[in-house]
């Protein structure tokens, strides 16, 4: 898993009738770690930026749930 994905183990009561899920995953967006936008950030080429949805690679977070352990 990359640095944007976090996992945790939910608390489960001994009286819970549902089968347990060992771990759950969630994503922390990269903009949570950048307080102010510094000058001189790397930039994608214009066509690549349109494809990815952002101009700056440091703020890019792909939307991909396959194979990451995300819950439906």
Average pLDDT over residues 30-54: 88
> Using alpha carbons only, how large is the chain's radius of gyration in Å?
17
Reported pTM: 0.54
Give SS3 for 49. helix
Q: How far is residue 65's CA from residue 33's CA, in Å, rounded to a whole number?
A: 22
Q: How far is residue 39's CA from residue 52's CA, in Å, rounded to a whole number?
A: 21
**Predicted pLDDT at 42:** 92
| Cβ–Cβ < 8 Å for 44, 56 | yes
Confidence label for 70 from pLDDT (cuts 50, 70 and 90): very low
């Amino acid at each position: 898993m990359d640095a944007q994905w976090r996992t945790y183990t939910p608390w489960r009561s001994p009286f819970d009738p549902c089968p347990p899920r060992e771990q759950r995953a969630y994503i922390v967006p990269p903009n949570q770690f950048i307080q102010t936008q510094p000058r001189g950030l790397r930039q994608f080429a214009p066509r690549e930026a349109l494809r990815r949805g952002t101009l700056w690679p440091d703020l890019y977070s792909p939307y991909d749930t396959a194979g990451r352990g995300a819950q439906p």
